[in-house]
Amino acid sequence: MVVTTTIYSGVLPVMLPMLGLLVEAGCVGDGHIDVASEHDTTIKVGVVAYNLRQNGFDADPLPQTIPKPETLMASQTPQLHFLLFPLMAQGHMIPLMDVAKILVQRNVSVTVVTTPNNAARFTSIIDRYIQSGFQIRLVQLQFPCKEVGLPDGCENFDMMPSLATAPSFFKATSFLQQPVEKLLEELTPPPSCIISDMCLPYTAHIAKKFNIPRISFVGVSCFCLLCLHNMRVHKIMEKLTSESEYFVLPSIPDKIEMTKAQAGGPMNETWKQFNEEVFIAEMASYGIIMNSFEELEPAYAREYKKVKNGKVWCVGPVSLINKDHLEKAQRGKHKASIDESQHLKCWLDSQKPRSVIYACLGSICSLTPPQLAELGLALEASKRPFIWVIRGGSHSQTLEKWIKEDGFEERTKGLGLLIRGWAPQLVILSHPAVGGFITHCGWNSTLEAICAGVPMVTWPLFADQFLNESQVVHVLKVGVKVGTEKPVKWGEEEKIGVQVRKENVERAIERIMGDTSESEERRKTIEKLADIAKKTVEKGGSSYSNVTLFIEDIMQKVKRDI
């Protein structure tokens, strides 16, 4: 049973945050309590903690539906309780929820703090974990949409109408500080540490106030963070005058070139201010958890650990905690956009091994309909079976009009499958029929492709994605660039227009899916990485060991502080 609490609270004026390195309420059970006023919050949070403890922590285990690992860590003294704060964006929430699953399977109690609409995306899988006796719970705080001028229910990045609302969205996240503080005053057992998305710097103030170690969760690679760190140290953004001028990333093991625009600049004052907030919060953090694994990027993991004085734990790929078919299908949503257990699976089963090209450019893809049409026509021209994920949003009606008027879907009915909305990506990538992935290079998607042994056509859009592309293509050598040069920012899509033509996409697909020696070498490389990834999260692997070291570190700190 998932027990939730909804707290309505006043707001705190804090520095306006922004996107920075981003660049994705019904009650169940007796524990749901609505606190209608700020004055009631302190009184009723204690009742909430008691109900949560009764229903989530101290209850007898129910019949297991998710098997526990063969050997859990020995009973800890004191009992560890980790408080998790995911940023309300799919690309951030999903991996941190995977971290929550990893921790509870290692005998740690976990509380996840989120909002009603975001909690609804995970209640199914959390239910299964609670029924299996794991100590995990969701606490829901009312998201202050109205207070910052957001549409009602706009609680996630994929609900925002445009980038223009991002400052208001981050302002709303900072307003959660006061209700979270009230929650911590009564929460039982008290948290041993906070694991916070790095884009929620307000949690650093909470950690300091309550003397709790703050661990920053970073959903990018060591390569990416080391590059960003070195650019900051060397003041690259200040030195470059042209957005399109290429420069060599300083002081890293490989020679990587990119433009100022691709590296994240230039920034307006709001963005700069938020980055400074994030930087200050990171400097105050006890350590960092990374969704990566040391064998993937040994030199970069080693160098970044030096930067952070050793308090860096690579515990990924966290997606591999999802073992069974249902977990993979439900990851991030109650249900996929199409019935993946029947239609999608049957379609994939009917295809030859490594014959399908899968195209998905992320949950907040901002490409224009003419640009997406070029992608669709390239998929058709490749004459290979394909799956194309089309998201909703402001451009969806125009794209759907083109699909209908052009006859695209009817014409490709026997060749391709269109998925509108959310797709069960882990299910698709792990199917043996899939042989290539056209991706926006979000780090989650990149790691999931590596775990599945699927080479990539890289199509970065913004933020860390150009750095991820460089790692995939130039460092790991498991991808081919489609040829994007300029970032595509929300609200500025029309300025970019069509940047990649059908012919460029088609050539990249052929380089990935073809029978050349280059293609075969790329496949062998990523399949080897996939094998290593699976071993690293098993007992004796580096990521498994890093989880142990992280838990032991927090345990020792708690004992010292008693």
266 pLDDT higher than 80 = no
Q: Looking at residue 417, what is its pLDDT?
A: 95
Q: What phi, psi does 277 have (nearest 5°)?
A: -60, -45
Q: Give 491: exposed, middle or buried? Use CB within 10 Å, 0-12, 13-18, 19+.
A: middle
- pLDDT band at 335; cut points 50, 70, 90: low
What's the rounded mean pLDDT across residues 526-555?
A: 97
Q: Looking at residue 276, what is its pLDDT?
A: 86
**Residue 126 near residue 138, CB atoms below 8 Å:** yes
Q: Give 431: exposed, middle or buried? Use CB within 10 Å, 0-12, 13-18, 19+.
A: buried
Q: Which residues contact 382 (CB under 8 A, 6 or more apart)?
A: 357, 506, 509, 510, 513
Q: What is the pTM of this model?
A: 0.85
Q: Looking at residue 23, what is its pLDDT?
A: 36
Of the two residues 21 and 509, the one the predictor is more confident about is 509
Query: Which residue in the block uniquely carries the two structure tokens 């860390």?
Result: 464
**Residue 456 near residue 479, CB atoms below 8 Å:** yes
**Nearest CA-CA partner of 25 in 93, 86, 115:** 115
Q: What is the CATH number of domain 5-60+77-316+537-561?
A: 3.40.50.2000
Q: Looking at residue 5, what is its pLDDT?
A: 41
Q: Looking at residue 339, what is its pLDDT?
A: 56
- pLDDT band at 1; cut points 50, 70, 90: very low
DSSP assignment string, 266-315? ---HHHHHHHHHHHHHHHH-SEEEESS-TTTSHHHHHHHHHHTTT-EEE-
Q: Looking at residue 19, what is its pLDDT?
A: 39
63 pLDDT higher than 90 = no
Domain with CATH 3.40.50.2000 in the chain: 5-60+77-316+537-561, 336-536
Q: Looking at residue 135, what is its pLDDT?
A: 94
**Residue 155 near residue 88, CB atoms below 8 Å:** yes
Distance CA 554, CA 544 (A): 16
What's the rounded mean pLDDT across residues 438-467?
A: 96
**Nearest CA-CA partner of 278 in 14, 17, 85:** 17
pLDDT digits (tens, 9 = 90+) for 362-386: 877 778 899 999 999 999 999 999 9
What is the pLDDT of the chain when averaged over all its residues? 84
Distance CA 479, CA 459 (A): 10
Distance CA 178, CA 220 (A): 29
Instruction: Tell me the one-letter amino acid at 414.
Output: G
Q: How many CB atoms lie within 10 A of CB 71?
A: 8
Token reading at 401: 């009009």
Of the two residues 15 and 460, the one the predictor is more confident about is 460
**Residue 334 near residue 414, CB atoms below 8 Å:** no
201 pLDDT higher than 50 = yes
Instruction: Give start and end residues of each alpha helix (H) in 150-264.
Output: 166-174, 177-186, 202-210, 222-233, 236-239
pLDDT digits (tens, 9 = 90+) for 338-366: 555 678 989 999 999 999 999 999 877 77
pLDDT digits (tens, 9 = 90+) for 117-167: 999 999 888 998 999 999 999 999 999 999 999 999 999 988 887 777 888
Instruction: Tell me the one-letter amino acid at 355.
Output: S
CA distances from 103 to 81, 318, 550 (A): 10, 11, 10
332 pLDDT higher than 70 = no
430 pLDDT higher than 70 = yes
pLDDT digits (tens, 9 = 90+) for 478-522: 999 999 998 887 667 677 789 999 999 999 999 999 999 999 999
**Residue 147 near residue 13, CB atoms below 8 Å:** no
To the question of domain 336-536 being in CATH 3.40.50.970, the answer is no
Of the two residues 38 and 25, the one the predictor is more confident about is 38
Q: Looking at residue 394, what is its pLDDT?
A: 63
